[in-house]
Amino acid sequence: MDSRKRRSPGDEAEQEGQRPGCKQIRVNGKRHVAALILARGGSKGIPLKNIKMLAGVPLIGWVLRAALDSDMFDSVWVSTDHDEIEKVAKSWGARVHRRSPEFSRDASTSLEAIQEFARLNPHVDVICNIQATSPCLHPKHVKEALQMILQQGYDSVFSVVRRHHFRWKEVKKGFFTFTPHPPLQSGKVAYYEMPPEHSVDIDVDIDWPVAERRVLRYGYFGRVKPEVVKLMFCCVSGCLTDGRIYLSASGEEMVSVNTKDTMGIRMLQREDVEVVLLTSSEDPVAKTASDNLKKRMGCEVVLVGQEPLSDLKSMVKQRNLEWKDVAYMGNDKADINCLNQAGLSAIPGDAPVVAINAAKYTCHSVGGKGAVREFAEHILLQKEKARSQMEQDRIDRSSS
C-alpha cells in the first residue's frame, strides 16, 4: 500500500473518459483522495488471479471492501484492461479506469499505470495505491496510513512489514533507510508498519490454500461483526445433492447424499445450530426421500414455494430470531432474496452467476460433493471469531 500527494497538475493532459459523479472541484478546499487498485488481466502464474475466488470472495473484493469501508476516499478505482475484472470491480462498488494497451503489457510497470491514471484524473490530489494481492488488509490500516498524509503532513507513505529480507531498515524508532522509488516515494516520506499476520502478498509469499486459511483467520469480512448463526436453511436439490433424482426399477425416487455433507450438518448441530432442509415445489423431492432425509439427518424438512423468503419469514419469527442470526445455502435464482437477507449465505461452486452475485460466500465444492460441509466449516469459523471478539471486548472493558 503506497499513498502520495499529487504534484500540481501544471501542463498535464486534459482528462479523458470522464466518469459520472466524479468530483471535479475541491469542496471547501478539501483534497480529493482516491484509492487505486491495479488489476491487469494478464497473469503468468494464475489466469485472472485478481478475480479468482479466495475464501468465497474474488481476490480483488477483499481490498475493495476494506477501501470502501474505511470511509477515507472520495473515489475508489480499479485500473484494468479486462472486461471480467471490470464487471467484478463495478459489482463491488468501484469505479473503473480502463487502462490503455500501452500500459497493459507484461513489461508495463505499476508506476506507468499510476501515472496514466493521474494524468487522466487531474482532479485527484492524493492517490492511495492498494495491492490487489493483499487480502488481509483492514480499513484501520488504510485510515492510519492515510492520516499520516492528511493530518501529519507527509508527502508519501508506504507500508512495510518486518522480515529477514527487506529493502528498508529501521536505524532507530521512526527513522529508516531503504531503496526508494523516486516517482512514488519522495518529499517527506514515512512508512506504515503492517502487522505480519495481515501482510499477505499472494504474488510473493504464499500459495492459494495457505492464503485462504490466513484470510479466513485475519481477513476483513465487512462492517457487520461476525454472526453467531443459530439457524441454517439448506436447499436439498443442488446443495445437499447434485440435483439429480434416481429412479429404482420399481419407480421409487431416490437422491444421493455425500457423507462429507452429512458430517457438516452434524458439526453444526453439535454447536447448537438448528438445520432445516428445504425442498421446492418447483423441484420436489418425493415424500419417501424427504422422510429418509429427515430420519438420517435429524433435521426438519420443509417444502417451500417459488419465493422461499415468504415461506421462511414466519419460521424465523417463531424462533425469536432475526435474519442476521440465519445462514442460508441456495443455488439458483429463487434463492436470491434469502441469500441477500441472511447474515451468512453461500452457494455451491457450480451455481449460476445470478446466485453467485447474491451470496456472501462461494464454495469451492460443487453441490452434492462437499459444499454443505465447506459452508458449515465457514459458519463455525465465524462463530469462533465472534466468541474471540466478545472475549476481547470483555477484557478491554475490565481493563479500562
Query: For residues 99-121, b (16+ Cβ closer than 10 Å) or e, as one string?
Result: beeebbeeebebebbbebbbebb
Name the band, by pLDDT with cuts 50, 70 and 90, for residue 224: low
CATH class assigned to 33-163+185-218? alpha beta
> Which residue intervals of the chain are DSSP H helices?
59-69, 83-91, 110-120, 139-150, 208-218, 259-270, 287-297, 308-318, 336-341, 353-356, 371-399
**Is the pLDDT confidence value at 234 over 80?**
yes
Q: How distant is the alpha carbon of residue 395 from its chain centre?
A: 29
pLDDT at residue number 24: 39
Rounded distance, CA 77 to CA 64, Å?
9
- Of 26-40, 98-112, 290-304, 305-319, where does mean pLDDT reach its minimum? 26-40
Q: Are 331 and 235 in contact (CB under 8 A)?
A: yes
Q: Do β-strands 361-362 and 57-58 pair in parallel, antiparallel, or remain unpaired?
A: unpaired
Q: Mean pLDDT over all residues of the chain? A: 81
Q: What is the 3-state secondary structure (H, E, C) of 5-32?
A: ECCCCCCCCCCCCCCCCCCCCCCCCCCC
Q: Where are the domains of the chain?
A: 33-163+185-218, 231-387
**Is the pLDDT confidence value at 241 over 70?**
yes
CATH class assigned to 231-387? alpha beta
For 61-88, how does the pLDDT look when each residue is reduced to its tens digit (9 = 90+)? Answer: 999 999 999 999 999 999 999 999 999 9
pLDDT at residue number 203: 61
pLDDT at residue number 14: 28
Most confident of 182-191, 279-288, 295-304: 295-304
The vertex-194 CA angle with 188 and 199, nearest 5°, equals 130
Rounded distance, CA 136 to CA 31, Å?
28
Cell reading at 4: 502520495
Q: Do β-strands 126-130 and 2-5 pair in parallel, antiparallel, or remain unpaired?
A: antiparallel
Q: Are 219 and 55 in contact (CB under 8 A)?
A: yes
**Is the pLDDT confidence value at 189 over 80?**
no
Q: Are 128 and 135 in contact (CB under 8 A)?
A: no
- Of 9-18, 202-211, 239-248, where does mean pLDDT reach its minimum? 9-18
Rounded distance, CA 154 to CA 186, Å?
10
- Of 81-95, 108-122, 208-222, where does mean pLDDT reach its minimum? 208-222
Instruction: Measure the CA dihedral 182/26/142/208, to 10°.
Output: -80
**Is the pLDDT confidence value at 172 over 70?**
no
Name the band, by pLDDT with cuts 50, 70 and 90, for residue 53: confident
